[in-house]
Chains A and B, each alone.
Chain A
Amino acid sequence: MAVNTKQKGVAPGGASLFSTIVTYGALALLNAVALTLIYGLLDMGNVPLAVVLGIIAFGATIIFFVPRFYPIRWMVPGLAFMILLVLYPIYFTVSNAFTNYGDGHLYAKQQSINLITARKYVPEEANVYRWEVMQADDGRYALYLTREVNGVLEAAFAPEGESIEPIAEPTEEAPETYNGFRLLTGADRTTALGVIQSAVFGLGDDTVGIRTRREAARPLKDRFIYDSVTDTITDQTDGRVYVANNEIGQFVPQDGQGDPLAPGFIVNVGLSNFTRFISDPGLRGPLVDIFVWTVVFSLFSVLSTFALGLMMALILNSPYIVGRKVIQSLLIIPYAIPAVISIMVWRALLNQNFGLVNKTLMDVGLIADGIPFLTDAAWAKFSILLVNLWLGYPYMMLICSGALQAIPSDVYEAAAVDGARPWQSFRSITLPLLLVTVGPLLIASFTYNFNNFLLIDALTQGNPPIPGSPVQASYTDILISYTYRLAFGNRGADYGYASAITLVIFALVALVTVFQTRFNNQWEKVSDNG
């Protein structure tokens, strides 16, 4: 019997009144928040993020109101987060790679101009006063100004938007009231401070501006004036002109002498981040060695963790083992502890002179001096692989455990009937069928380890250094830790450069992954055939 969807209080699909209210309430909240944020973002000039939020809010609403899209309503949160947290950052990274966004170029041009032109200066001929703020009943503010000239106290009164009058009988302290204005103290004064810092007191050419909490200058002038026609900024103190260089994103002195104005601004630099990466002396350095080690490290990590994990899974698969569940729980521990903490503990354990591993080996008499686990090139690589094995095998053990269950036992029986020995049945039955399921996970593990910045950085922290390298590099550096240092380690944060490097690494990893996926497909074919 079809549900009458035109019934009062029932949404398409026959939901109850309560769930309808909750749904519409949530949608209303989403739209309200999105609208507020979009308004704020457009105000700041961030159009792409505003567009993304608009798409999410609009999309979510459409899905709920248009019957045709209603079935995919359960995917709304997932889709929303995917767009916001995956697609948008990808777009952001790609667009950054073509800009010089980074230290010294953190803002859009208009923001830079605003920051520069906000600076004030006191012209030579200006008078400097101490000030106090007063307020009239209609809310206008005024400044009570005092200064000493040749030992004589002078005072003046400067209301907002009215001419400045000298005060006949000046007092050092501002009076309680003057001409209908009363002196502000406490919370009223605090409120006033927020307003008057940019207010204009006085009229026409004779104005007073507040410079610091003690001083006001008459007049206080803008130090930098921006001319949008010539795209230049002129320094009023010395008349120097700075021209906007839209290729490098800075206002540079017209006469070529001296420093450009700080801060600079973000500009599109086209492919120069990529060409810079290619011509960076860091690339003439040990990059090939680092790339080779990255591949070796990832490959070896995957293979060793898979081998150990599979072995554990096979052993624990047998129902004859006593306390199977307990052992399994204990073996998962490396996976459960946060990696950062485990790695730091390992670093302490592997300390050459005072680490537990070396101390034990020395006490037992196996070695005389501590092994330089983290300071010798070869030992450091070994330590990295060892720690990664320790961290990674529980994951493999878990997935192999699950995948092993999926292999039907009658296949093994058939093999036994045919006279296959255990190793043969493992190689010809278990492994291929396992790899069908686990294959993609191995590829994922390879990809993850290719960019395993955390392990390298936390365990060896850029040691042991490669002597004579043009750019600081470590024997244990993988591509991502090495390029991270190129982008962030030396010149301050260079996000544009880092984004370009990210794209290059992504291309590399994508290439390798596509390659591996082809292999995986071949396993699929094997399993289909037999």
Chain B
Amino acid sequence: MISKKLLGVFALFVVALGSITSTMAQSNTLVIWADAERAPLLVDLADEVLADLGITLQVVEIGLGDARDGLLTTGPVGEGPDIMITPHDTIGQLVENGAIIPLELDESLAEQLSPAALSLFSYKDQLWGIPYAIENVAIIRNTDILPEPFTTFDDVRAKAEELKEQGIFALAIPTGNTYHNFPVTSAFGGYIFGLNEDGSFNIEDIGLNSEGGLAAAEWLAGMYADGLLPTDVNDDVMFSLLEEGRAGAIITGPWYSQRISETLENYAIDPIPGVEGVTENGSPFSGGQGFVISAFSENQLLAETFLFDYLATPEFMQAIFDAGGRPATFSTVDTSANPNVAGFMAAGYNAIPMPAIPQMASVWGSSDAALTLISTGGDPAESMNTAVQQITTAIGVAAALAASDSDTITLVGSLQSEAGCANDWDPACSTTFMTDNGDGTYSFTVTLPAGDYEYKVAVNGSWDENYGANGEANGANIALSLSAETEVTFGFDSNTKAITDSVNN
């Protein structure tokens, strides 16, 4: 008897509490995700917006690096934001996952935004976000140590040699960091992804081991080997060097604007030096941050209204700049309060947008590894070739290439491990793929230590078709004897099947 009564009371409890938790009022709420610097500005806006439009602004603080994953995880279950701040390199991935909606600008707004900034948030011919900051690295020079800016990278080397006697590094760059080293690569004519005619990225054309890319790698290797560039350097080490007067210049970005002013009294912000005969100035990567609207939002129209009427306005953009000091994308913003900004923007006149395509994820890791290897004495050409091979494997392009018409010719033999492959006699190792010279001949150059080797040539990554001495199919191995470390160039003529090398022939 008693337990039935209690059960009854209990059931009432459940119903009551359940109904309370179930009824969540559908109010005019907009959820915005912003990082720690921007969030307070949005909170300040909340009262105004509530009074004018009756919108309740819910500002949630979330790190810039976490925004993309957060949206992809919470959006589909209805717990995501309506508007979000994100760095531009997440755009490709967000669009491919259908997570954000395209935006349209009025003419008046388009005039106020720089085309470079807009291109950062464009993907597949549509605009997906409104940028509020655009940034790129530059050379920060201690004018007490280096009164004149660098002109070319040869100049950098010359000054490094001069200053080495005083125990000062002319230039310090974060080690093994592609983002900060890219200006060097681009100065020598290298690139990450080549461009198609329509301006989109050609993911089959990776420029890390192009002529320019390799030249940059060689320059870096030489500098590290001669002790002219410091190794094992990260941002904190870099600023320590600057502070102690042991570095004449560093490469860093506007996020450290304040730290620069605090560390140095007399400094200048210069564009990246160039390379004689190749470029006037190296190009840093340009990156941006901006607002996007979630495709999972149930209030997209309201979000769009709020974004364009309150956020993409000169007043709010000015407020963002005043708070953060990052170069602004709106031309109306008065940047005179922060003189560093002008320097960074000048250095970014030829900045190359950091590709926002999903394939970029594969690039960073392998390229960073290659740069680290170079800094510890690794062979620049081998390291870059390995990086490109890793990237193409990751992107899955290798399969596509194999399916195409052109053959791949591999130099196989007991010299493959010395040339950078994991194993000898491996026809699939792409580190020793010979370069197609376009006229039916292939060549491959590598520096080998002294020793006796045997080699031959394999076609399309397997032993099915291979050639040896005298151009014979399945012919004998060719002997190669080196008395000292030598740079050897191998050649293969796909018409006559003749194999040559610069030592024997």
Contacts and interface: CB of A to CB of B under 8 A. Distances in A.
A32 interface: yes
B302 A485 contact: no
Given A103-B96, A263-B97, A186 B53 contact: yes
Given A29-B17, A107-B76, A193-B302, A469 B97 contact: no
A468 B382 CA distance: 8
Given A353-B232, A490-B394, A463 B176 contact: yes
A470 interface: yes
Interface in B352-371: 358, 361-362, 365-366, 368-370
A352 B232 contact: yes
B13 A25 contact: yes
Contacts of B301: 193-194, 196-197, 210, 213
Contacts of A65: 3, 7
Nearest to A281: B393
B390 A103 contact: no
B98 interface: yes
A31 B12 CA distance: 12
A8 interface: yes
Interface in B44-77: 52-55, 69, 72, 76-77
A474 B176 CA distance: 13
Nearest to A25: B13
Best-buried of A28, A186, A474, A489 by chain B (most CB within 10 Å): A28
B304 A490 contact: no
B451 interface: no
Contacts of B429: 468
B9 interface: yes
A471 B393 contact: yes
B231 A352 contact: yes
B47 to A, nearest CB: 14
Contacts of A263: 96-99
B472 to A, nearest CB: 29
A262 B54 contact: no
A196 B368 CA distance: 50
Interface in A223-266: 262-263
A262 B96 contact: yes
B383 interface: yes
Contacts of A452: none
Given A353-B232, A471-B394, A115 B382 contact: no
Interface residues of B, number: 77
Nearest to B421: A468
A472 interface: yes
Contacts of A191: 28, 54
A36 B18 contact: yes
B196 to A, nearest CB: 14
A359 to B, nearest CB: 12
Contact of A491 (B69, B77, B240, B361): B361
Interface stretch (A298-306, A326-334, A370-378, A404-412): A370-378
Given A191-B54, A197-B301, A471-B393, A106 B97 contact: yes
B213 interface: no
A193 B231 contact: no
Nearest to A212: B104
A467 B96 contact: no
A28 B14 contact: yes
Nearest to A104: B96
- Return the 6 tightest CB-CB contacts between A and B, nearest first: A187-B54, A28-B13, A32-B17, A465-B369, A490-B394, A263-B98
Interface of A: 6, 8, 20, 24-25, 27-29, 31-33, 35-36, 39, 44, 65, 103-104, 106-107, 111-112, 115-116, 118, 186-191, 193-194, 196-197, 210, 212-214, 262-263, 281, 284-286, 348, 351-354, 372, 374-376, 462-465, 467-472, 474, 485, 489-493
